[in-house]
Amino acid sequence: MIEPEIIERFSRQILVRDIGVKGLAKIRKTRVAIIGCGATGSAQAELLARLGIGFIRVIDRDFVDISNLPRTYLFKYEDAKKAIPKAIACAERIKEIDPTIKVEPVIAKVTPYNISNFIKDVDVIVDGTDNLLTRFIINDAAIKYNRPWIFVGVVSWYGNTMFIKPDKGPCFRCLTPTRLLEREEERRGACEVLGVVNTVVALTSSISVTLLLKYILGLKVDYNTLYIVDGKNLEVNKVKVNKNNKCIACVYRKLEFLEGKKYLEGNIARICGTNAVEIIPYSNITIDPKEFSKLFSEETIVALNPYAVKIKVNNEITLTIFRDGRAIVEGTIDERYAWRIYEEHVLNKLNKRGT
């Protein structure tokens, strides 16, 4: 039974043929996990919230930066100023759109070792990531747990999206050769060099959420079609993708990325599209941002919230430390230099305190 207030809220949507009250009930029962809440992830999150999706889990490792604002939906200048984690900011905006939606923000980096916790209890996975490796991990997990997912990618004037249901059509590994990972280090700067046009984010995200809506409503979805958006010429092209009958993932079910055999990323890695490096501690660390901030002088603290503390190391470098000990060093892409900063300003201070 749908409450009268919900009926009134979605009254215009109910009038649409193929939706109606029954369709709205299906939408309200749907559970979605959005992995990555950057440009595409936040755009999809807003569209899904305004559609009336009943449960949305938002997973992201990063915090809001001022450079995100031109192309990232839901976030505000104040979020960047306070270094609010993207998952938290996204969840807060969703609740402002519709307080009846259940939203679960998760501040974490998705890995082969934790992804099952995020997707086992949802109906659909939405890709809001910015790298191939995470997408291959999502693909393996989707195959293992039989979950459909939506691939989305944007760069410059162009975007592409595909609804992937490995038991019905090709998987992401059928579409994308893993050898591209070998060149990803060379291409990590592509989003910096080529940039992203925010209207292409909106166009591509809208197509992806439309595919998801059709799936929820039981309408026909083509699981063999890759949609390619050309924002500059305002064209949307469809490319047929055939299932690879020898696919190691969806046919032979050798889930190499989920098993970690092809998990190539280490504990220190440059974050694509930024002048920053992410560091994940090798051992379990728990930090209280408020207490940890007391180890630094007040003039070096840039932002402090319940989820992280951001400090100024020098004129070029800032360091954001999260509750789980993970950190983002901004102002460099030198991984060794970033580690030295982390060692000095996090590990050494914790050791002095006997933590």
Give domain status of residue 255, yes or no. Answer: no
Average pLDDT, the chain: 91
At 175, the pLDDT band (50, 70, 90 cuts) reads very high
At 189, the pLDDT band (50, 70, 90 cuts) reads very low
- Residue 38 per-residue DSSP state: S
The end-to-end CA distance of the chain, in Å, is 52
Range of the domain at 45: 4-240
At 196, the pLDDT band (50, 70, 90 cuts) reads confident
If asked whether residues 307 and 167 sit together in one domain, one would say: no
Which tens digits make up the pLDDT trace of 43-98? Answer: 999 999 999 999 999 999 999 989 889 988 899 999 999 999 999 999 999 999 99
Strands 31-35 and 55-60: parallel
If asked whether residues 272 and 236 sit together in one domain, one would say: no
Q: What is the CATH number of the domain that holds 277?
A: 3.30.310
Give domain status of residue 125, yes or no. Answer: yes
Give domain status of residue 334, yes or no. Answer: yes
Average pLDDT over residues 10-34: 96
The whole-number pLDDT of residue 263 equals: 57
Residue 4 has pLDDT above 90, yes or no: no
Which tens digits make up the pLDDT trace of 129-165? Answer: 988 889 999 999 999 999 999 999 999 999 999 999 9
The whole-number pLDDT of residue 29 equals: 97
Rounded Cα–Cα distance for residues 60 and 303 (Å): 19
Q: What are phi and psi of 323, to 5 degrees?
A: -60, -30
If asked whether residues 233 and 276 sit together in one domain, one would say: no
Give domain status of residue 349, yes or no. Answer: yes
List strand residue ranges (DSSP E) for the chain, in order: 31-35, 55-60, 102-107, 124-127, 149-155, 158-164, 225-230, 235-240, 268-270, 276-279, 301-305, 308-312, 318-322, 327-330
If asked whether residues 295 and 229 sit together in one domain, one would say: no
The two three-digit tokens of residue 41, written as one number: 């992830």
If asked whether residues 215 and 275 sit together in one domain, one would say: no
Give domain status of residue 27, yes or no. Answer: yes
If asked whether residues 79 and 227 sit together in one domain, one would say: yes
Question: How many folded domains does the chain comprise?
Answer: 2
If asked whether residues 194 and 106 sit together in one domain, one would say: yes
If asked whether residues 210 and 347 sit together in one domain, one would say: no
If asked whether residues 276 and 235 sit together in one domain, one would say: no
Give domain status of residue 186, yes or no. Answer: yes
If asked whether residues 72 and 153 sit together in one domain, one would say: yes
If asked whether residues 160 and 282 sit together in one domain, one would say: no
If asked whether residues 231 and 309 sit together in one domain, one would say: no
Rounded Cα–Cα distance for residues 146 and 142 (Å): 5
In order, the DSSP letters of 187-253 are HTTHHHHH-B-HHHHHHHHHHHHHHHHHHHHT----TTEEEEEETTTTEEEEEE----TT-TTTTT-
Which tens digits make up the pLDDT trace of 271-291? Answer: 766 789 999 887 678 899 999
Which tens digits make up the pLDDT trace of 198-253? Answer: 999 999 999 999 999 999 999 999 999 999 999 999 999 999 999 999 999 999 99
